[in-house]
Amino acid sequence: MINNQQNPAWWKNAVGYQIYPKSFYDSNNDGIGDLQGIIQKIPYIKSLGVNFVWLSPFFASPNIDNGYDVSDYQDIDPQYGTLDDTFEMIRKFHENDIRVVFDLVINHTSDQHHWFKEAQKSVDNPYHDFYIWQKPKNGREPNNWVSLFGGSAWEYNPATDEYYYHLFAKQPDLNWENPKVHDAVSQIIDWWTKHGVDGFRLDAISHLKKNQSFSDVTDQEAAMNNVPGIDKFLSELSDDFKRNHLMTVGEAGGVPVTRAQQWVDSKDGYFDMIFQFDHVSFWEKFAVGKVDVAMLRKALTNWQNGLEGIGWNALFLENHDLPRAVSYFGNDRDMRRQSATALAMMYFLMKGTPFIYQGQELGMTNVDFDSIDEYRDLDSRRFYQEELAKGATKAETLFKLRSKSRDNARTPMQWTSAGGFSNHEPWIEMNPNHKMINVQDEKQNSQSVMNFYKKLTELRLTDPILLNGKYHLIDTHDHQTYVYTRESGSTGYMIITNLSDEPAGYHVPIEYQNLKLILTNQPDLQDTRAMKLQPWSAYLYKYERTTSHEINE
Ligand code: GLC
Ligand code: CA
């Protein structure tokens, strides 16, 4: 029985699974994933051993940004189903002991939300102040602030001769300076709690506060992210979540670890966890390149150490905005299974709550679209047009999209060798490699990526050292390996991964004794005193230790 009041920290000993409803499973064959489709696949989700799901938005929306532009927070986009389907889905997840986390998009609404339709009409309208307005300056935009999706962040509204502010697509940002906005959002939170929701992922939450000077800036990032004064809004919101015993994970790009104490302190932090993006942001959004393992170690260790004794990490490599990990970090050409499993072990056993994004457990890869017409994501299409206008060739722009477009994560879930997502042509093309990479095959193959994730999940949920043990990096000072331990007392786990296409050497330090192999993605055991790590190999050992780090360091 699920009781969040009695078990408020359930999310610590938990593994999450993110569902992107539009691409998960289409139950009525119109080419679009839906809620009944999710319900039908609950046994599959259950079989992975995960204990909560986070669903990307499926609320009423004109779908400019695939549902991240909400026009009614208490209604469902008919392409996904109805409110009754939603309640049924929550109930059935709960019957299977799986908790349900929704996506709450409250930095902005759709311009089709009735609040905005009202707000737009006149400056005296009671909803006008729900949004952010400025008068034109010299007949133009009030300042040089840019949208994260390109171009000015301001859009003209003729009826009031004002501009409204939108950080993302033309989805007006809410004005959190107005206490009525918080009141309205509070009611939505209470309402969904009443209907059984166990938690929320807070979309774009580090952007809630805007610099009230509304003057030109030289540092756009500083103007839009984590602006001083945001704490008031976050702590008010956090009262709503605490009152309702909800789990929360904030999308907190740009929040430095030095601020993390306020955000996720286990006693009075705003949220239970945050998604930070340091380890997936080594390049510009559309740059192409390989991940530097030394930088990866540094970024992840910074958060592991930074939150130790303070708060709890959310662990992830993929989501609906990121390319597929096996293509971005790994080698999806000839070492797909090995690199998918090595990456899995690398992040999954750190301290925190791991998230799996749908299809990641199959080792799904980026997609190789050969025309812009196959892309659906507005940001990818915008990028393509802008690049061409700047003189880039189609081929080089498509090459960039292939490695970084958000659509890489949004192609339909690959259920069978025939596809298995829908009998209808899907809203976005399926990755043709579904013939090789799919749930059906992964289930049968004992060496599969899926079975590796299942083992990691089981380990993670049953071992107290993997839950609470302290993270300790063993710095290998190289550009291939990532080695760390999780330790409690003199017992611990050592996680050894070679995240490269070349063999690497590694010597286990002498103070780690009685190494016992628990899990590997390699066929054979090796000599641990002079390990020759095959490309993309991963080993989990349990050990006893003779001396403590304190003495060692
Ligand atoms: C978040 C979402 C992304 C969306 C944006 C605006 O970053 O993850 O998909 O486009 O917010 O809502
Ligand atoms: Ca459908």
pLDDT mean over 463-471: 97
Residues 307/313, Cβ–Cβ less than 8 Å: yes
Task: Characterize the bridge pairing of strands 247-251 and 273-275.
Answer: parallel
d(CA 173, CA 68): 12
Residue 306, token pair as written in the block? 């930074």
How would residue 552 be classed by pLDDT, with cut points 50, 70 and 90? very low
The alpha carbon of 428 and the centre of ligand 2 are apart by a number of angstroms equal to 13
pLDDT mean over 300-321: 97
Confidence at residue 287, expressed as pLDDT on a 0 to 100 scale:
64
d(CA 543, CA 506): 16
- Output the average pLDDT for the chain: 95
Confidence at residue 551, expressed as pLDDT on a 0 to 100 scale:
45
Task: Report the residue among 18, 59, 61, 65 best suited for mutation to probe ligand 1: largest number of ligand atoms under 8 A from its CB.
Answer: 65
pLDDT mean over 190-195: 98
Task: Report the residue among 58, 203, 280 best suited for mutation to probe ligand 1: largest number of ligand atoms under 8 A from its CB.
Answer: 203
d(CA 545, CA 553): 14
- pLDDT digits over 227-256, tens only? 999 999 999 999 999 999 999 999 998 899
How would residue 396 be classed by pLDDT, with cut points 50, 70 and 90? very high
Ligand 1 atom showing the smallest separation from residue 169 Cα: 6
69 lines ligand 1 (CB under 6 A): no
54 lines ligand 1 (CB under 6 A): no
Ligand nearest to the CA of residue 110, numbered in listed order:
1
The secondary structure element, H or E, covering residue 517 is strand 512-520
Q: Say how far residue 147 (Cα) sits from the centre of its chain.
A: 21
Confidence at residue 553, expressed as pLDDT on a 0 to 100 scale:
41
Ligand nearest to the CA of residue 35, numbered in listed order:
2
3-class secondary-structure state, position 180 = helix
Sign, Cα dihedral of 544, 547, 552, 553:
positive
Which neighbouring-strand residues pair with 497?
482, 538
The answer, yes or no, to whether residue 513 has pLDDT greater than 90, is: no
Which of 343, 335, 315 lies closest to 453, judged by CA? Answer: 343
361 lines ligand 1 (CB under 6 A): no
The alpha carbon of 149 and the centre of ligand 2 are apart by a number of angstroms equal to 28
Task: From residue 200, give the alpha-carbon distance in Å to each of 39, 155, 189, 255, 272.
Answer: 20, 30, 9, 19, 10
Q: What is the DSSP code (8-state) at residue 508?
A: -
321 lines ligand 1 (CB under 6 A): yes
Confidence at residue 246, expressed as pLDDT on a 0 to 100 scale:
98
pLDDT mean over 364-380: 97
The secondary structure element, H or E, covering residue 295 is helix 293-307
The alpha carbon of 79 and the centre of ligand 2 are apart by a number of angstroms equal to 6
Confidence at residue 282, expressed as pLDDT on a 0 to 100 scale:
75
204 lines ligand 1 (CB under 6 A): yes
The region of weakest confidence among 46-60, 209-223, 463-477 is 209-223
The alpha carbon of 203 and the centre of ligand 1 are apart by a number of angstroms equal to 6
The alpha carbon of 296 and the centre of ligand 2 are apart by a number of angstroms equal to 39
- pLDDT digits over 8-26, tens only? 999 999 999 999 999 999 9
Which of 100, 52, 103, 33 lies closest to 73, judged by CA? Answer: 103
Q: Can you give the length of the chain in residues?
A: 553
pLDDT mean over 474-494: 95
65 lines ligand 1 (CB under 6 A): yes
How would residue 198 be classed by pLDDT, with cut points 50, 70 and 90? very high
**Which amino acids are annotated catalytic?**
203, 251
The alpha carbon of 251 and the centre of ligand 2 are apart by a number of angstroms equal to 28
168 lines ligand 1 (CB under 6 A): yes
103 lines ligand 1 (CB under 6 A): no
203 lines ligand 1 (CB under 6 A): yes
Sign, Cα dihedral of 311, 317, 321, 322:
positive
Ligand nearest to the CA of residue 147, numbered in listed order:
1
Ligand 1 atom showing the smallest separation from residue 319 Cα: 8
Full strand arrangement of the beta sheet holding 491-498: 470-474, 481-488, 491-498, 538-545, 512-520
The secondary structure element, H or E, covering residue 484 is strand 481-488
